[in-house]
C-alpha cells in the first residue's frame, strides 16, 4: 500500500518540477520581450519573483508582465511547499528506516506469513509454518530476539509492528496472514486496529493473555484469539470425561473442508474394526509427555498408552456423533485446582459442574477471591503440611490440575499425591522444557508445555481459516498431512529426498488406498502422505 503511495508521490513531484520548469522558461521569454531585458536580467527577475524574495531592483512596468508575476508568485509558493514536504517526508522515512533497520523497499513475497514477536511461542510457530511449506517473515523490536531470529530466518526485520511504515514494507496485501505473539495485549489491540484499517481482508491470529482482550476480539475485529483457556479445554476434556476416542485435528465443525484425513487418539484396547474398516494406525501417544512415537520407530515409551490413528474425512462425517461424543459423566470423584487463575475460573464454570465436586488449593489471595466470587470451596496450601492436606482432601479418583508458578510447590504436591493416592490423575501446566522431566518423575500423569499448547492452537486456527490439511503438534514433533498438487514442492519428490529433509512418511495413500513404498518411490499429483517431523 505504502509503495503505491510512494510511487504516486514521486510521480506528482516529478510532474510539478516539469511544469515549474516549463513555467519558468516561458516566463523568462515573455518577461524579456515585454520588459526589454537581457537574458540574464530576465532569468534573475523570474527566479527572484517565483521564490517570493522580491529585491525591488527590477520591477514590472508592462501590464501583461504584472499578470505573469502574479501567476509566478502563486505557482512558486505552491510548488515550493509541495516539494519541501516531499523532501521532509523522504528524510524522515529514511531516518526511521535507518533507526529500525527496515528494508529500503517492500519485500517481494507472496502467500507468505508474518510472525510478529519472536517469543518462545513465536519461535515454535515459525518452525511449524516452515514445515508446512510457508515462507515466514519475523518482526521483533527487541534487540536480543531480533538477533536470535536472524540466525535461522533470512526474512527478519527489527521494528515496531504497529508502525505504518514497517507494515507497508511487509507486502501484507499478498500475505496469507499475520500472527501476533508479542506477550503484550495492549500492543495486540493497537496492531489489530491499525492492520484492519489498512488491510481489512488480512487474517490476524493473536495470542492473548487476558480474558478482557479475548472477550473483545470481535470489537477490535481480531479474526482469531488464542488464550490458555480455549487452548487447554480440549486436553481437559480428555482427562475430565475419558472419551473413548478423541479428535487431535482442529475443528470438527470444519471437518468437511480440511484435507483427506483426520487424526484421532484412542485407548490401547479400543477395537476400531467394530466401527471402521478403513483407518490407518500411525503410532502411539504418551499422555504424560504428549510425545508421539511412530509405529516404525525403534524408540518407545512404556507409558505410550494411546494409539494415534487417521480416519478418512468421509467416514468422520458419517460417524460424527460417535467420533465426537458429548461430555456427560465426570470421570472423577473430585477436581482439585492447585491454583485458580482467571482463565481457569471461566473454563471450569463453562462445564457446569456441581460446585461440591470442586476444591481450590492455593496460598494466593487472588485465587481465594476468585473461588469466593464463584462459590467454590478453597483450602490454603502449606508445603509443610502437604501430607496432611493430601490425606484429608485428595481421593484415589481425584483429578488435580496444577497451574502454580512455583515449581517447588508443584513438585511436592505431585510427589505427595502420587505416593498417598496412587490412582490420582495429575495434570501440570509447564512453562519451560526443562520442567517436564522433574514433573514426570515426581508422578504427574500429564505435563502440558505452555508454548506447545498455544502454538498448536494458533497454527490450527490458521489451518481452519485457509481450509488446509490437518496438523497436530506434539511435544516431540509435528504430525501433518501432505496433499500433493501440480507444481508444488512435493510433486516428483522421492521418499528418500523427503527423509533427508527430516520428514518421516508414516503412510502413503494413492487412489484412496494405502500403498507400500520404498526410498526411490516418487510422489504424484493427488497422492496423500501422512508425515511426522521429529524435533
What pLDDT is recorded for position 415? 94
Query: What's the pLDDT score for residue 343?
Result: 83
* pLDDT tens digit sequence for 264-318: 888 776 666 666 667 898 998 888 888 899 987 666 555 557 889 998 888 887 7
Sheet holding 477-483, edge to edge: 471-474, 477-483, 528-534, 503-510, 513-515
CA-based R_g, the chain, Å: 33
Look at the block and give the residue holding cell 528506516. Answer: 97
pLDDT of residue 356: 85
Could you give the angle at the alpha carbon of 89 between the alpha carbons of 88 and 90, nearest 5°?
Answer: 90
pLDDT in the model for residue 478? 95
Average pLDDT of span 10-16: 70
Cα gap 535→127, rounded to integer Å: 10
Cβ-proximal residues to 255 (8 Å cutoff; 6+ apart), any chain = 262, 313, 316, 317, 320
What is residue 246's three-state secondary structure? strand
Q: How confident is the model at residue 231 (pLDDT cuts 50, 70, 90)?
A: confident
Between the ranges 231-240, 345-354, 404-413, where is the mean pLDDT highest? 404-413
Residue-level pLDDT at 315:
82
Cβ pair 225, 214 in contact under 8 A? yes
Report the C-alpha gap between 27 and 64 in whole angstroms: 11
Give pLDDT, residue 2: 45
Contact (CB, 8 A) for 403 and 380: no
Phi, psi angle pair for 220, to nearest 5°: -90, 5
What span, in angstroms and rounded, lies between the C-alpha atoms of 284 and 289?
Answer: 12
Give the end-to-end CA distance of the chain in Å, rounded to a whole number. Answer: 38
Helix (H, G, I), strand (E, B) or coil at 220: coil
Cell of 428: 501440570
Residue 428 has pLDDT above 90, yes or no: yes
Which grid cell sits at 216? 473483545
Is the pLDDT reported for residue 95 higher than 60?
A: no
Burial class (CB in 10 A: 0-12, 13-18, 19+), 304: buried
- Residue 501 to residue 533: CA distance in whole angstroms: 9
SS3 477: strand
The answer to whether the CB of 294 falls within 8 A of the CB of 307 is no
Task: Provide, rounded to the nearest whole percent, the portion of the chain with pLDDT above 70.
Answer: 87
What integer best gives the mean pLDDT of the chain?
85
List, for residues 289-304, the tens digit of each pLDDT value. Answer: 888 999 876 665 555 5
Give me the pLDDT at residue 325, please. 57
Q: What is the DSSP string of 347-373?
A: HHHHTT--GGGEEEEES-HHHHHHHHH
Residue with cell 515550493: 80
- 353-396 pLDDT, tens digit each: 888 889 999 999 999 999 999 999 999 999 999 999 999 999 88
Q: pTM of the prediction?
A: 0.77
Amino acid at each position: 500500500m505504502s509503495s503505491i503511495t510512494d510511487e504516486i508521490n514521486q510521480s506528482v513531484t516529478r510532474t510539478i518540477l516539469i511544469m515549474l520548469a516549463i513555467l519558468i522558461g516561458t516566463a523568462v521569454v515573455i518577461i524579456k520581450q515585454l520588459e526589454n531585458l537581457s537574458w540574464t536580467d530576465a532569468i534573475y527577475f523570474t527566479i527572484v519573483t517565483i521564490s517570493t524574495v522580491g529585491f525591488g531592483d527590477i520591477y514590472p512596468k508592462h501590464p501583461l508582465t504584472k499578470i505573469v508575476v502574479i501567476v509566478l508568485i502563486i505557482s512558486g509558493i505552491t510548488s515550493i511547499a509541495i516539494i519541501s514536504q516531499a523532501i521532509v517526508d523522504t528524510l524522515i522515512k529514511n531516518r526511521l528506516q535507518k533507526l529500525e533497520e527496515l528494508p529500503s523497499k517492500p519485500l517481494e513475497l507472496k502467500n507468505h506469513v508474518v510472525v510478529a514477536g519472536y517469543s518462545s511461542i513465536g519461535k515454535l510457530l515459525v518452525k511449524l509454518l516452515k514445515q508446512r511449506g510457508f515462507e515466514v517473515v519475523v518482526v521483533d523490536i527487541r534487540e536480543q530476539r531480533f538477533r536470535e531470529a536472524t540466525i535461522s530466518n533470512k526474512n527478519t526485520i527489527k521494528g515496531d509492528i504497529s508502525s505504518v511504515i514497517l507494515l507497508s514494507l511487509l507486502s501484507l496485501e499478498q500475505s496469507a496472514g499475520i500472527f501476533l505473539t508479542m506477550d503484550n495485549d495492549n500492543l495486540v489491540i493497537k496492531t489489530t486496529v491499525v492492520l484492519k484499517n489498512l488491510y481489512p481482508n488480512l487474517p490476524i491470529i493473536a495470542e492473548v493473555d487476558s480474558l478482557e482482550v479475548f472477550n473483545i476480539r470481535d470489537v477490535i475485529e481480531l479474526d482469531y484469539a488464542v488464550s490458555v483457556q480455549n487452548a487447554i479445554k480440549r486436553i481437559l476434556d480428555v482427562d475430565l470425561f475419558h472419551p473413548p476416542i478423541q479428535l487431535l485435528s482442529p475443528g470438527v465443525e470444519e471437518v468437511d473442508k480440511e484435507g483427506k484425513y483426520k487424526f484421532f487418539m484412542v485407548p490401547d484396547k479400543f477395537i476400531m474394526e467394530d466401527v471402521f474398516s478403513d483407518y490407518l494406525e500411525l503410532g502411539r501417544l504418551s499422555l504424560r509427555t504428549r510425545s508421539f512415537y511412530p509405529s516404525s520407530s525403534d524408540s518407545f515409551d512404556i507409558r505410550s498408552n494411546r494409539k494415534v490413528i487417521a480416519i478418512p474425512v468421509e467416514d468422520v462425517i458419517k460417524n460424527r456423533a460417535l467420533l465426537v461424543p458429548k461430555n456427560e459423566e465426570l470421570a472423577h470423584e473430585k477436581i482439585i485446582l492447585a491454583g485458580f487463575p482467571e482463565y481457569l475460573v471461566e473454563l471450569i464454570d463453562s462445564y457446569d459442574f456441581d460446585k461440591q465436586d470442586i476444591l481450590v488449593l492455593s496460598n494466593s489471595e487472588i485465587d481465594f477471591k476468585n473461588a469466593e466470587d464463584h462459590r467454590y470451596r478453597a483450602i490454603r496450601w502449606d508445603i509443610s503440611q502437604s501430607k496432611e492436606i493430601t490425606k484429608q482432601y485428595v481421593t484415589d479418583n481425584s483429578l488435580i490440575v496444577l497451574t502454580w508458578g512455583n515449581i517447588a510447590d508443584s513438585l511436592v504436591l505431585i510427589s505427595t499425591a502420587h505416593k498417598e493416592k496412587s490412582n490420582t490423575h495429575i495434570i501440570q501446566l509447564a512453562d519451560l522444557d526443562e520442567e517436564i522431566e522433574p514433573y514426570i518423575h515426581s508422578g504427574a500423569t500429564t505435563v502440558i508445555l505452555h508454548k506447545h499448547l498455544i502454538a498448536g492452537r494458533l497454527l490450527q486456527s490458521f489451518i481452519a481459516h485457509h481450509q488446509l490439511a490437518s496438523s497436530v503438534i506434539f511435544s516431540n514433533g509435528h504430525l501433518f498431512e501432505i496433499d500433493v498438487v501440480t507444481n508444488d514442492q512435493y510433486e516428483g519428490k522421492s521418499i528418500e529426498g523427503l527423509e533427508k529433509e527430516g520428514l518421516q512418511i508414516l503412510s502413503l495413500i494413492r487412489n484412496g488406498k494405502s500403498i507400500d513404498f520404498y526410498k526411490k518411490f516418487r510422489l504424484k499429483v493427488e497422492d496423500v502422505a501422512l508425515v511426522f517431523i521429529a524435533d
